[in-house]
Amino acid sequence: DIQMTQSPSSLSASVGDRVTITCRASQGISNYLAWYQQKPGKVPKLLIYAASTLQSGVPSRFSGSGSGTDFTLTISSLQPEDVATYYCQKYNSAPLSLTFGGGTKVEIK
Amino acid sequence: EVQLVESGGGLVQPGRSLRLSCAASGFTFDDYAMHWVRQAPGKGLEWVSGISWNSGSIGYADSVKGRFTISRDNAKNSLYLQMNSLRAEDTALYYCAKVSSVIAVAGQFDYWGQGTLVTVSS
């Protein structure tokens, strides 16, 4: 089974900082990768899919990149409302297995 | 408006069974694959199981394989998860989620329910 490893597990940054979260797959997954944001007590929200496509309605300060095994989620200018835990997820259909990364908790310094 | 409403959670003893349901509305249910995702208290997201639009393709996480069974009834716009031989480590909030792309069995989840809590304890 393909494993998804996120780093760091948590980070603290200042408002306006550029924040980068990394997700690594144990095998190549092409661009079958999504990123979700989960605020405390809330349901996960889709941010990015196909590694770099921004979901409708998501602020443009969020961006994704990567292909194969290494992926990144970038917040270009961290805002207070971005405090959340972020998860990557790979989705391949053969075999059907949609694994999440362990999550990255983002806080404001 | 897309709505996914889970039900069926509760307190259950180890070794017993529980059946979760997810009622869908606001979209053409039989065009989309559906999945279950769980989140143990204070922990991360864990994919549990998924089913294609026509039930022709089904998958399970290793942690539930052989104990959980996913199914759907397109006539009732409903998704189910039969959970047998429950263990303490199955305690979690269980979400149903809709795949974004028509027909694709795997893909990003664009809508999630609010979840139903399953607690396995004696």
Over residues B11-36, the mean pLDDT reads 97
Instruction: Report pLDDT for B21.
Output: 98
How many Å apart are CA B37 and CA A97, to the nearest integer?
A: 12
| Residue A58 contacts B, CB cutoff 8 Å | no
Over residues B87-103, the mean pLDDT reads 96
- Longest Cα–Cα distance of chain A, Å, equals 42
8 Å CB contact between A85 and A72: no
Measured from the Cβ of residue B66, the count of other Cβ atoms closer than 10 Å reads 9
Interface of B with A in 93-112 (CB under 8 A): 95, 100, 104-110, 112
Dihedrals φ, ψ of B15, to 5°?
90, -15
Kindly identify which residue of chain B lies nearest to residue A44, measuring between CA atoms: B112
* Mean pLDDT (chain B, rounded): 97
* Share above pLDDT 70 across residues of chain B, in percent, rounded to a whole number: 100
- Chain A residues near residue B44 by CB distance under 8 angstroms: 85, 87, 100-103
- Chain A residues near residue B107 by CB distance under 8 angstroms: 49, 91
| Residue A10 contacts B, CB cutoff 8 Å | no
Kindly identify which residue of chain A lies nearest to residue B62, measuring between CA atoms: A1
Task: Write out pLDDT tens, residues A55-99.
Answer: 999 999 999 999 999 999 999 999 999 999 999 999 977 778 899
How many Å apart are CA B59 and CA B48, to the nearest integer?
A: 8
- Which structure tokens are listed for B117? 């809590």
- Longest Cα–Cα distance of chain B, Å, equals 42
Task: Write out pLDDT tens, residues A16-37.
Answer: 999 999 999 999 999 999 999 9
Instruction: Report pLDDT for A17.
Output: 98
Give the pLDDT band of residue A103 (cuts 50, 70, 90): very high
Position of tokens 């290793």? B62
